[in-house]
Structure 1
Amino acid sequence: MSKKQPSILVVNDDGITAPGIKVLIEEMQKLGQVTVVAPEGPQSGTGHAITIGKPLRIDRVYIYPDVEMYKCSGTPVDCVKLAVNQVFKGRKPDICVSGINHGLNSSINVLYSGTMSAAVEGAIEAIPSIGFSYDDLETDADFSNCRPYVRSIAKQVLAKGLAKGTLLNVNFPKTDRINGIKICRQADAKWAEEFDERKDPNNRSYYWLTGVFQLRDRGEDTDVWALQNDYVSIVPVQFDMTAHHAIPDLNSWEFEIQ
């Protein structure tokens, strides 16, 4: 009797026709049975947004041979929710992989990322999940160096699983030669936002968000350091946002209720 192939859910935030998802699909087909549920258009920067107050649509599409694919009118998180509840009918896939995102999701970017939020939603559903991102925003980005690492990391997760409430944030440097993999912590950094004010034909102001990435962390155990030194960074991420270390201090406060 042949061994049953793992079931693999593929999602992203760049849209169902993005080059990065094609690469991820091709690599996952080497590991198991692939099902794709992805936004019908770009959804970058949507974070963990879900659609409330208007209907969601999910439609079967035929883009790549031998792949069950659906486009979704909602966000990346909507895609995972619909995949679990409507496509898989409550049966959980063996793994959820998101990406490959065009652009890094290292450091603080993990909070804004639709790619990572889709993976987080997979983890909330108790599905071992990974978000993949690559340091290249171009539509003709060359993912060749990413491919063996994508496959190897997913293979390890399928074989060994992940701790409860944990998922992986994987980022690839843009380089001719990757030096290997580093298990990292998230770097301490933030965006210093600026808004470019312009005027429309009616002389009303509108704004384009711009900003500068400010790295406040010089540690050599961070995802930013790893990427700057041509390593693949893997950061284990959790969706429990409790600051456990702050609880003892807060318990020492005296609240005066009048």
Structure 2
Amino acid sequence: MKEKKPLILVSNDDGILAKGLKELVSFVRPYGDVVVIAPDSPQSGMGCAISASVPIHYREIHKEEGLAFYSCSGTPADCVKLAKNIILDRDPDLLVSGINHGDNSGVNVHYSGTVGAAKEGCISGIPSLAFSLCNHDEDADFSETKGYIQQFVELALSEGLPDWTCLNVNFPYESGYKGIKVCEQATGRWINELEPCPRMGDLNYYWLSGNFRPHELNNGKSDYTALKNGFVAVTPITVDITARNYIDKLSSLLQREK
């Protein structure tokens, strides 16, 4: 009997036409059968959102031996749900999301549709990796990411990942990466987040923009710092967001109120 190749599911949040998606597909194709299902339009900033109030649909774009492309009307998380429940005939061995055109380090993980797809895969029990390049250019050069991405793919396929854990991988803007650093997620806040647009009639319009101000207590161990110093930053993240260090204190405070 012919041994089945690993099944690799690919998604993103920049949409089915994004260069980063096409590059990622070419990087992972040597490792198995690849099925791509990505939003039919850009879905940046959608996080883990799902289309709870409207139906979604998908369309086959291209299919050949070992490779298929589908577009989906929904969010990145919708794409993963649709793939797992409707399109695929078996569970994927790996999910890869990206390559995002832009930084998804720090608190950006909570907004990122690229990471949202990986989290959805993680919730579904699929080893999942999210990849982002700190460059918003539509024609960004992803060539230097190839060897690193393949290293992470080989690791995930051979060793798996812990339950409820996925990897968030960010590549610096400048080429000449200095290596990989396993990092904590940077904490911090966005400041000056809204930029006024010209008024339209009686309404005020704003673009989301802003600058990220990292928290000084990251002690140089964060993904933000690693990227600034030219390293590929990989952060293991979990879908369990319980603040365990506050459980006992909160229980004590609530008992005191009785």
**TM-score in same-fold range (> 0.5):** yes
Cα–Cα, structure 1 residues 201 and 120, in superposed 2: closer, same or farther, change >3 Å?
closer
> What pairs with 1:137-152 in structure 2 (closer than 5 Å)?
137-152=136-151
Aligned residues: 256
Give the aligned CA root-mean-square deviation in angstroms.
1.7
Separation in 2, partners of 1:131, 1:18 = 15
TM-score, normalised to structure 1's length? 0.94
| Aligned twin of 1:113 | 112
Percent identity for Structure 1 against Structure 2: 44
| 1:175 Cα offset (Å) | 2.3
Read off the aligned partner of 1:223 and give its amino acid letter: D
Structure 1 unaligned regions, length at least 5 = none
CA gap 1:220/1:3 in 2 versus in 1, 3 angstroms? farther
Q: Is the 8 A contact 1:193 1:209 kept in 2?
A: no
Query: What's the counterpart of residue 247 of structure 1?
Result: 247
For 2:16 and 2:5, locate their aligned partners in 1 and report how far apart those are by CA, in whole Å.
24
Q: Distance in 1 between matches of 2:43 and 2:200?
A: 28
Name the counterpart of 2:55. Answer: 55
Q: CA deviation at 1:174?
A: 2.1
SS of equivalent to 2:166: strand
Q: Supply the AA of the counterpart residue of 1:59.
A: R
In the superposition, the TM-score normalised over structure 2's length comes to 0.94
In structure 2, distance between residues paired with 1:195 and 1:179: 34
Query: 1:198, 1:144 → 2: CA distance?
Result: 36
Point out the structure with the larger helix share.
Answer: 2
Residue 255 of structure 1 deviates from its aligned partner by 5.9
**Deviation, structure 1 residue 256:** 4.5
Equivalent residue letter for 1:62: H
SS at match of 2:193: strand
Show the counterpart of 1:204: 203
Q: Residue by residue, what CA displacement relative to the aligned partner does 1:25-55 show, whole Å, maximum 9, x if unpaired?
A: 0011011110001000100001111002211
Structure 2 SS opposite 1:205 = coil
Going from structure 1 to structure 2, the CA distance change for 1:140 and 1:192 (only over 3 Å counts) comes to same
Change (3 A) 1:255 1:51: farther
Amino acid at match of 1:243: A
